[in-house]
Amino acid sequence: MTKYPLYYKFQRMKVLKLILSFIIFLAVVTVIFCSILYLKGNKEKKTLTDADRKGTAGQYIKLSQGVTHYELSGPDTGKVVILIHGFSVPYYIWDGTFQYLVAKEFRVLRYDMYGRGFSDRPDSLYNQAFYEQQLSDLINQLHLKTPVNIAGVSFGALVATNFADTRPAMVAKVILVDPAYKFGPPASAEMFTRFDKATHGDEQAAGQLTDFKYPQRYPDWVAKYKVQMQYKGFRNALITTMYHYNFHNREDNIGLNNLHKPVLLIWGKEDHTVPFMYSDSLRSVLKCDFFAVDDAGHLPHIEQAGKVNERIAAFLKE
């Protein structure tokens, strides 16, 4: 009478064991597959050292949070202009503008944010205060005469805006080039973003070309970008910024407007990274001198260097 219930119970246990074994098998296969993807895609193989920096252009300085790669040039008596790069492309994004302004006898500083280029990659929280401290340290330790003029492109424009908001006495004029808008954390969990970035490095590098209207004119752009990707900490800097830099869009620009500082807003009309239509929203809360650039994408100071650099210099001289 009881053998059949025992039999069925035994069969159910066998089925459960098979299911459990299959689940474990799938988990192991998934881990192995993900590990292969990570090892194959991960480009961060090296730790950035002084030996890697040897022979590079620019200068280095030890700040409160780490070593910063920078370049400072132009006459000591010139008006100080600080150029802040975007989210992930280092200070070479300002090559043409830097050289142009130095030739116009401005005192020009550009630098790599922590985590980018040849600056240190500290294991820190990359939030607003972190970025502002680096810039404040640079101004103080390089003994730059304040107030300074600051120009930021894309994410760098957010840093410039926030820096002016929190340290108004240190800033004279502000230049915003295609400023990032609606910046905020990704919808996905941070662990998934980390895996995605680790396994899609080539796509990230190639994606930098979408900032241009004419990417074919910049054949070395991707290879140049990949140099920084080999050093550990680059990816972490980007991801922690994505999740911890709290930009409040309109509120921050309202704050900048209330300071009554001269602001030059520059925007490429064919920007697909931060669409040109956002310029209307920003201008609704920020009184500024507006320069809409024809025939240019997200980096108009590169694609239309002559017109944009001339406008920047004129604005700074006013």
Q: CB–CB of 138/120 below 8 Å?
A: no
Q: Residue 5 above 80 pLDDT?
A: no
Ranking 49-53, 231-235, 244-248 by mean pLDDT, the lowest is 244-248
Closest CA to 265 of 165, 76, 257: 257
Is CATH 3.90.76.10 what the domain over 50-317 is classified as, yes or no? no
- A 10 A CB-CB count for 293 gives 23
pLDDT computed for residue 34 by the predictor:
63
| Strand-pair partners of 112 | none
Nearest-angstrom CA–CA distance, 195 and 144: 41
What is the domain partition of the chain in residue ranges? 1-41, 50-317
Q: For the chain, state the CA radius of gyration.
A: 24
Phi-psi region of 154 (alpha: psi -120 to 50; beta: other; left: phi over 0): left
> Per-residue pLDDT averaged across 90-112, rounded?
98
pLDDT in tens, 258-302: 999 999 999 999 999 999 999 999 999 999 999 999 999 999 999
As a whole number, the mean pLDDT across the chain is 92
Backbone φ, ψ for residue 195 (5° rounding): -65, -45
Q: Residue 3 above 90 pLDDT?
A: no
